[in-house]
Amino acid sequence: MALRAAVIGPTGYAGFHLVDLLLRHPEAQLVYLASARDKLPDIRQIYPQLIGRIADQVAVCRPIDVDSIADVADVVFLALPHGAAMGYAPALLDAGLRVVDLSADYRLDDVAIFEKTYQQPHGDRQNLADAVYGLPELFRQQLPGAALVACAGCYPTAAILGVAPLINHSMVKPERIIINAASGATGAGRKLSEATHFPQLNESFGAYGDIGFHRHQPEIDQVLTRVAGRPVRSFFVPHLLPIDRGILATIYLQPATADVTLGELFEAFADAYAEEPFVRVRDDLPNVKDVRDTNFCDLTVRLSGPEEDPIVTVFCAEDNLIKGAAGQAIQIMNLVFELDETAGLL
Amino acid sequence: MALRAAVIGPTGYAGFHLVDLLLRHPEAQLVYLASARDKLPDIRQIYPQLIGRIADQVAVCRPIDVDSIADVADVVFLALPHGAAMGYAPALLDAGLRVVDLSADYRLDDVAIFEKTYQQPHGDRQNLADAVYGLPELFRQQLPGAALVACAGCYPTAAILGVAPLINHSMVKPERIIINAASGATGAGRKLSEATHFPQLNESFGAYGDIGFHRHQPEIDQVLTRVAGRPVRSFFVPHLLPIDRGILATIYLQPATADVTLGELFEAFADAYAEEPFVRVRDDLPNVKDVRDTNFCDLTVRLSGPEEDPIVTVFCAEDNLIKGAAGQAIQIMNLVFELDETAGLL
Amino acid sequence: MALRAAVIGPTGYAGFHLVDLLLRHPEAQLVYLASARDKLPDIRQIYPQLIGRIADQVAVCRPIDVDSIADVADVVFLALPHGAAMGYAPALLDAGLRVVDLSADYRLDDVAIFEKTYQQPHGDRQNLADAVYGLPELFRQQLPGAALVACAGCYPTAAILGVAPLINHSMVKPERIIINAASGATGAGRKLSEATHFPQLNESFGAYGDIGFHRHQPEIDQVLTRVAGRPVRSFFVPHLLPIDRGILATIYLQPATADVTLGELFEAFADAYAEEPFVRVRDDLPNVKDVRDTNFCDLTVRLSGPEEDPIVTVFCAEDNLIKGAAGQAIQIMNLVFELDETAGLL
Amino acid sequence: MALRAAVIGPTGYAGFHLVDLLLRHPEAQLVYLASARDKLPDIRQIYPQLIGRIADQVAVCRPIDVDSIADVADVVFLALPHGAAMGYAPALLDAGLRVVDLSADYRLDDVAIFEKTYQQPHGDRQNLADAVYGLPELFRQQLPGAALVACAGCYPTAAILGVAPLINHSMVKPERIIINAASGATGAGRKLSEATHFPQLNESFGAYGDIGFHRHQPEIDQVLTRVAGRPVRSFFVPHLLPIDRGILATIYLQPATADVTLGELFEAFADAYAEEPFVRVRDDLPNVKDVRDTNFCDLTVRLSGPEEDPIVTVFCAEDNLIKGAAGQAIQIMNLVFELDETAGLL
């Protein structure tokens, strides 16, 4: 019998891609779309791409009614704004549903850091303590049967996958990890803004935000610190690209010792990812176009700069809406329910 | 009487913009277009934008005949591929013309570095020794009356303007200067290539080339070393943007001392550029769109990261074809001939 | 003494380009920016491109105070939303200013058609009756000394310039003139909308609006009817392009007689435009890129289809913000004040 | 047992999408990639998107060896340049393979028209006579078991689907059918050209080719004539869009009688396509973005213009690489082998 899935918050870009991926999934069935909007939308009016692919009774969003969802679904995806998921997760978990949350609500272990980063109190500390951090390549063993999984953020996924194997093998220093990242416009969401007004963004390129204080930096540091077993400190600078989709992280690191070789760096990645279906360690430089509309994260590494003071550069590319959001959520669902990890994703 | 200008190599993008700017220049007159092609092109067939703006007798390219050029022109712009300019410059100089070269041929003081970087012998060492490096904001005093000026490269202009004031004031360390740069597609020229095939480049983003060995890096290091009076070593990584024009350099530096403040960093830039007509020190983050089709370089600086180990980030934006090529060449011409520096450029 | 110009409504895209062109104009001086906003903006905060190019006292918008404007200016440009210009024009005219209006308020002779098209009453019928329709190529003789000029709309400029010579020479039938047009995103203005949200518009293409009822169609028909001396009826369908700037009109017409030749069609255009500085009759097909950031309208004509029932196709390209708005307004100013028509525009 | 599929010519864009779709297809298996290149490529080097998705032994192209292909495959897709398919089809058919050809070689019934249109002799008249025209919505009944199917061209698919129901019901006149079409850049193929050089195409828009003589026009007219049972004559004008993918056809038609209503027009489309899984008759205007990466053709119709001389406008959008090429080929394969028509396509 197919796994029955509900999506709460399908009208955002991540929500749409959850719907799209679930409709293609060979072992899952989309049964319920739920929206917090007063006027419940038909998802096909927002995303005409879905016309002819989704049944009428599913396409029209219903209220976020926990009992109704629990009646028909096994798993629920929360694709809500940061701060909103924690309002629904407790009841959904109590009703016996598996919950995969795409927001930041359950990503940060430390409540104080969450509250400082997202400027709001955390309303569900108990589940926060139990939530699994949803980055399968690092924490796969915690996923089977997990009740609540917090999908890794879009930027953190690229950054962490690019750094973790080197930190883990102590091949790079844990400080001054410079993550120069760029994202396509869907990363900024469906909400209208000057920054994403077409004549403003088209043919443009620039960094954005409060440099050095992006909300994804604590998430990156928390996970890398856990991997390293000692404090890791990165420096994250995001840029906005005039394209729809894709994240590229260009990461500058300092070798831990002077004698590290490029071969060893590649070996560290090979060790980490040889068996991973969605990480491709490449010889040539990754490009967001190569991973568009896929769940892959492509990466490579270089060793160059002055011989006496070389620099390790890692390049990671992913689709922010797939491996950085909806695809990763489906990969997590597959692992939680012990399906083939790649089901519906290749 | 108007300054009479010739352009050798007008068919490339930098050449076109020289033509465009000269046609608008209030004190210069475009008198001669010269091409090395067998079949001499009418520049209007390559750039229909010029139809109705340029006289017939100028529009049709003529051979690169030094005597003919010297008969009618005061200044000649060389917009030729690297390696070609040095074949013409000696004769043009001998004929009494002022020469503004947009290629790399006369940028590097050290012949050995030139030959290693561009993989070819240098055929004009004498003029190389006398050429002025054409970055007015740093070397303005050498420009009036200069016979041969080598315009700074597109990437080096952004990188050097972003770093020089800080290096000059010893506010940052001279090593591990990480220059993460991105350029629009015109930077790759008019020559067809897979990398600039529309379906390949559109909606893409990635780094390119041999990481750590870009030919602009020795140029950047040479100039910064001259500014600092001690060896400076940068690490330059270029990316290709799916836009027509613009370079953004995001530069990561280490403060020389722990107590440097953001105010001091801004002061260093203000000191350097307050009187500069084409450098705009901004509070907010620069964007290539703000400088499109202008000769401005926009920059700002941030100080963030861990308190005990802060990072200085500089952001510089320019139009690679204007401040990074043709506009800078016109600015140089204005200074060589002691015209108003901004003539034809605002 | 320079002509002194004021711009009311400089914060929109047309307003910005008026400012940009006036700053470059050799015989005009920008003296006053006026805005209806409560919080008067500094134009440089909205358009950082202008930093370093405009004097502080001009850059900060002032209230729309007719007396103050009349004190310092000779000419005023109205770059306001449709319906707003008619509220200011009477007083500005009474104060002795020449007025160039970029809105639709004074374009339509017939009040009833205006009111039906723009769904609002017309509040200034007297000046409407006296306003000159600002399309210099057709109505140049009415411009010198004109008090109030209504700049032709962006789409109408391309459409009318493409059809008028053929209608004028009775070479095509006056009905079933199909105008298939496409515009860049700036045509939709600075106001945020779903249609111009980057992830929505990027990589998209489609028609928009109520097909057959675009508000520019009555304007096109009015002018072509005046040119023909008999009723002309066009059918206008607009599309939105994922680019910043440019309009292309592809116009399908029926030859008036079976024996019209391609040579005659070209002759009609040559007759009409040989002396026009801003219309380029081309042999090859126009492209919006060739006219970007210029005041040119490029056009060509083809004759093909079945021999017994051939079709005349005209292609017209212009920059919607220059020839379609700000450039045309400057061209009109030049003619009203009997300056060189091309001043500041080549 | 899975249907075994081979692709000859997988290195072009249509070929890549065949590979991509076959890899996802639940009932087909990709077994053989064949290339005419001397140096046989690994498809993953050309399309890194495929890394990790395709078996090594399939990814490396093999020679076009009919016996080897016949040994392992049931169906072969020809994704070759026009003129090349007819060199392979006879032997492939003789070997018992079903052949789905994506080129124009078997689309035109009339050899004389083929030879005039493609400027080359036709080398396989016998199979030409037997080939089925591969547009399932019109000729579905001929597909089950068909030996050779010529997939409809990209532009013709949109144009024919937009016109056929109206012609079929005699609701529009069979002449002066104006098809104003625009295609994304992949339509021009992988071959480098000035027209698809990024700085040339980006931010551009224009028509192309010899207006009125596009090679797709005879194909459109042949099929519409067959549908109508009397001569139909269209006029086709293509434009190039600065996007990767998508075709929009805006079609202008004359009602056959003055009293046709919009309701009747919609009914004609509903009659024709109500049961079609890949044609979506929409109320609102189609956009290429809504059909990107899908096998859908979206269309709608409008009736407007002067009451006494109204115009029917049809808008059709499709993805030129899916419904216009690879997706349609898979849809055809499904029908030839009597699988679910939508298998692998939703």
Residues of C with CB under 8 A from a CB of A: 13, 185-186, 190, 192-194, 196-199, 201-203, 242-244
Contact between chains at C241 and D239 (C-beta distance less than 8 A)? no
* DSSP element (H, E) containing C334: helix C327-336
Answer yes or no: is the ipTM higher than 0.95: yes
Quote the CA–CA distance of A306 and B250 in Å, as a whole number.
20
- Residue D248 has its nearest CB partner, among C205, C213, C254, at C205
Return the partners of chain D (3 or more C-beta pairs < 8 Å): A, B, C
How far apart are the CA of A85 and the nearest CA of chain D, in angstroms? 29
Return the partners of chain A (3 or more C-beta pairs < 8 Å): B, C, D
> What average pLDDT score do residues C307-331 get?
97
Least CA distance to D199: which residue of chain B? Answer: B244
DSSP code for A215: T
pLDDT, residue B30, reads 98
Chain D contact set for C231 (CB, 8 A): none
Quote the CA–CA distance of A86 and A107 in Å, as a whole number.
11
pLDDT band for position C1 (cuts 50, 70, 90) = confident
Chain B contact set for D201 (CB, 8 A): 198
- CA–CA distance from D42 to each of D69, D75, D186 (Å)? 17, 21, 21
Catalytic (active-site) positions of C: 154
Residue B126 CB neighbour total at 10 angstroms: 9
Pairing between β-strand A297-304 and β-strand A311-318 as defined by DSSP bridges: antiparallel
Per-residue pLDDT reduced to its tens digit, A213-252? 899 999 999 999 999 999 999 999 999 999 999 999 999 9
Quote the CA–CA distance of C94 and D211 in Å, as a whole number.
52
Quote the CA–CA distance of A122 and A131 in Å, as a whole number.
14
**Tens digits of pLDDT across chain A (346 residues):** 799 999 999 999 999 999 999 999 999 999 999 999 999 999 999 999 999 999 999 999 999 999 999 999 999 999 999 999 999 999 999 999 999 999 999 999 999 999 999 999 999 999 999 999 999 999 999 999 999 999 999 999 999 999 999 999 999 999 999 999 999 999 999 999 999 999 999 999 999 999 988 999 999 999 999 999 999 999 999 999 999 999 999 999 999 998 999 999 999 999 999 999 999 999 999 999 999 999 999 999 999 998 888 999 999 999 999 999 999 999 999 999 999 999 999 9
pLDDT, residue A234, reads 96
Indicate the residue type of A332: I
- Residue D309 has its nearest CB partner, among C175, C205, C287, at C175
Which residues partner with D5 through β-bridges?
Answer: D30, D75
Percent of chain A at pLDDT above 70? 100
CB neighbours of B57 closer than 8 A, spacing ≥ 6? none
Contact between chains at C290 and B48 (C-beta distance less than 8 A)? yes
- CA–CA distance from D45 to each of A220, C11, C232 (Å)? 32, 49, 58
Catalytic (active-site) positions of B: 154
Indicate the residue type of B145: G
Report the CATH number of the C3-130 domain: 3.40.50.720
Chain B contact set for C24 (CB, 8 A): 346
D contact test, residue of A27, A287, A290 with most D CBs within 10 A: A290
Q: Backbone dihedral region of B316: left (phi > 0), alpha (psi from -120 to 50 degrees) or beta? A: beta
* B to D CB pairs, distance under 8 Å: 50
Q: Are A107 and A219 a contacting pair, CB within 8 Å?
A: yes
Contact between chains at A175 and B203 (C-beta distance less than 8 A)? no
> What average pLDDT score do residues C209-219 get?
92
- Residue D248 has its nearest CB partner, among C206, C244, C317, at C206
Per-residue pLDDT reduced to its tens digit, D141-178? 999 999 999 999 999 999 999 999 999 999 999 999 99
Per-residue pLDDT reduced to its tens digit, B82-115? 999 999 999 999 999 999 999 999 999 999 999 9
Asked if CATH classification 3.30.360.10 holds for the domain at D155-320, the reply, yes or no, is yes
How far apart are the CA of D38 and the nearest CA of chain B, in angstroms? 20
CB-based contacts of C55-60 (< 8 A; 24+ apart in sequence): C58/C30, C58/C31, C58/C32, C58/C33, C59/C33, C60/C33
pLDDT, residue D331, reads 98
Residues of B with CB under 8 A from a CB of D: 13, 185-186, 190, 192-194, 196-199, 201-203, 242-244
Q: Is the dihedral of CA C144, C146, C148, C151 positive or negative?
A: negative
Written as six digits, the tokens of D18 are 């065949």
Residue span(s) of chain D under CATH 3.40.50.720 come to: 3-130
Chain B contact set for C282 (CB, 8 A): 48, 51
How far apart are the CA of C141 and the nearest CA of chain D, in angstroms? 33
A contact test, residue of C11, C198, C321 with most A CBs within 10 A: C198
How far apart are the CA of A204 and the nearest CA of chain C, in angstroms? 11
* A to D CB pairs, distance under 8 Å: 41
**Pick from D314, D310, D312: nearest CA to D258:** D310
Mean pLDDT, chain D, integer? 97
User: Does pLDDT of D258 surpass 90?
Assistant: no
pLDDT, residue C149, reads 98
User: Does pLDDT of C144 surpass 90?
Assistant: yes
Per-residue pLDDT reduced to its tens digit, D177-212? 999 999 999 999 999 999 999 999 999 999 999 998
How far apart are the CA of A151 and the nearest CA of chain B, in angstroms? 25
Report the CATH number of the A155-319 domain: 3.30.360.10
To the query of whether residue D154 is one of the catalytic residues in this protein, the response is yes
- Residue C202 has its nearest CB partner, among A13, A190, A198, at A198
Contact between chains at A294 and D23 (C-beta distance less than 8 A)? no
Contact between chains at A306 and B200 (C-beta distance less than 8 A)? no
**Tens digits of pLDDT across chain B (346 residues):** 799 999 999 999 999 999 999 999 999 999 999 999 999 999 999 999 999 999 999 999 999 999 999 999 999 999 999 999 999 999 999 999 999 999 999 999 999 999 999 999 999 999 999 999 999 999 999 999 999 999 999 999 999 999 999 999 999 999 999 999 999 999 999 999 999 999 999 999 999 999 988 999 999 999 999 999 999 999 999 999 999 999 999 999 999 998 999 999 999 999 999 999 999 999 999 999 999 999 999 999 999 988 889 999 999 999 999 999 999 999 999 999 999 999 999 9
Write down the residue that tokens 């032709």 correspond to: C152
CB neighbours of C68 closer than 8 A, spacing ≥ 6? C32, C62
pLDDT, residue A52, reads 96
pTM of the model: 0.97
* A to B CB pairs, distance under 8 Å: 140
Chain C contact set for A46 (CB, 8 A): none
Mean pLDDT, chain C, integer? 97
Chain B contact set for C296 (CB, 8 A): 51-52
A contact test, residue of D19, D287, D294 with most A CBs within 10 A: D294
**Pick from A73, A81, A46, A75: nearest CA to A61:** A46
Instruction: Tell me how far the alpha carbon of residue C89 is from its chain's centroid.
Output: 18
B contact test, residue of A202, A210, A233, A239 with most B CBs within 10 A: A239
pLDDT band for position D1 (cuts 50, 70, 90) = confident
Residue span(s) of chain D under CATH 3.30.360.10 come to: 155-320
